[in-house]
Amino acid sequence: MASQSEVIDRLRATFRSGVTFPEPFRMTQLQNLLSLVEENEQLIQDALHKDLHKPKFESVLSEIQITLNDLYFAMENLRTWMQPEYNIGKNLATRMDDCFIRREPLGVVLIIGAWNYPLHLILLPLVAAIAAGNCAILKPSEICQATEQLLAELIPKYLSQDCYAVLCGGAEDTKSLLKNKFDHIFYTGSQVVARSILLAAAPHLTPVTLELGGKSPCFIYGHIDIHKAAKRLCWSKFFNTGQSCVAPDYVLCTTQTRDALLPALRETLRTFYGPDPGASLDMGRIVTPRHWRRLMDMLEKSKGKVVIGGESREEDRYIAPTVLVDVQESDALMQEEIFGPILPILTIESLEEGIDYINRQEKPLALYVFSDETSVVTTVLNNTSSGGFCGNDGIVHMALPGLPFGGVGASGMGSYHGRWGFETFSHRRGCMNRSWLLERVNVLRYPPYSDYNLGWLRWATTFKKNSWGGCSVM
């Protein structure tokens, strides 16, 4: 088996040969990746069920179809994305010049995936890296071993082995990998590990994209159809057993709304998962015993009151969908992202108080507002900051390839999906091919300098509208 450095050297030699640059090569690799997913759908479902007890419905929707959609979108738009951009502002001094922006591949990139969506969180960045013309090394999460091994088996069968490689291993292997120089690092995971990624990237001045998480609020306020809200909240919170970086982490609402919401949540959960969610085929499991114990520890330390759920089984890592009330800002459940099927409800008395609470916290990866009143949704949108925003639903915004997906502040840096991923893995190279015409303007910049020439040169290079009888964009 080749060493990490040997694999990186092989990919770098391939990149320098220019083989990944042409559009036909990129399109072929994207088509091959599409075939990988389509032809191995059952194997993918089996691996996801083994790792996370994911039901088929969730595996198809959140792992397979989201990857296919991003591939379809990239393949349909690749030629347009690769075209030079000529809509560049010019002045009189450059009006005869050829000015444009080229999107060029960065080189050899490293993509580090996460365990909660072990397929799509490694393949969606790969789609972007391929579309942008890069070579890529994939480091799947070792926590989901079945999916990790499946990727290690399938990627070399479908994609060019000289351009793309899968490296498996644990935390120490990742640390060793990060000692190498890459042209970009794309990481999905926790804030703790993200700090170590940044430290490892710093000596090489490697740019980094960090897709993290945080405590994404669901703010329910004003007039609302409480039963519809309960269904959308339960689905987005307990999808993938709450192990989603964009899952609603907690609810903010008035006492009156809370009292109306609780019976609707009980009814909805019974409809979704039956009287015993632990026996439902549609309820997944916590990924490892260590993650299960972390969640149970948070729940035991909480001063909140469990009003729905609370049951658990360590032997199969089960935690029932659980809702708590009387939760304070200082509660154990509010100190870090929950990342499990536990939903605290905090009460506020006004729209302004809710907005103030959100703004006191770190900027979340997503922010959800449920309200029939457009003014409420707009007010929250205009007075908060988050990686993404969705009114009257949860998590579905991340499935649209036309929207950028990424965090802000502590929830991450950079974005991807669709065109935004292509841009992340591209260098925007500003280019100018100068004409030999208008030399009478150019001589104004040559020594010996004079105030007279300076005055004319300032006029010729200004972008003030109509300063020389034209428009600043040509």
Distance CA 55, CA 286 (A): 13
Strand, helix or coil for residue 328: coil
Asked about 211 being catalytic, the answer comes back as yes
Residues forming beta bridges with residue 428, ordered by sequence position? 103
Distance CA 53, CA 241 (A): 10
* Closest alpha carbon to 287 in 247, 332, 240: 240
- Residue of 144, 245, 253, 390 marked catalytic: 245
From residue 307, how far is each of 275, 304, 326 by CA, in Å? 15, 9, 10
Please report how many Cα atoms fall inside a 13 Å half-sphere around the Cα of residue 323, on the Cβ side: 23
Place of tokens 């993938």: 240
Distance CA 276, CA 340 (A): 18
Q: What is the DSSP letter of 446?
A: S
Place of tokens 């909480």: 302
Place of tokens 């989201």: 66
Tokens describing residue 258: 């809370």
* Closest alpha carbon to 66 in 401, 406, 366: 401
- Residue of 211, 337, 390, 423 marked catalytic: 211
Distance CA 285, CA 33 (A): 29
Asked about 362 being catalytic, the answer comes back as no
Q: Which residues are part of the catalytic machinery?
A: 211, 245
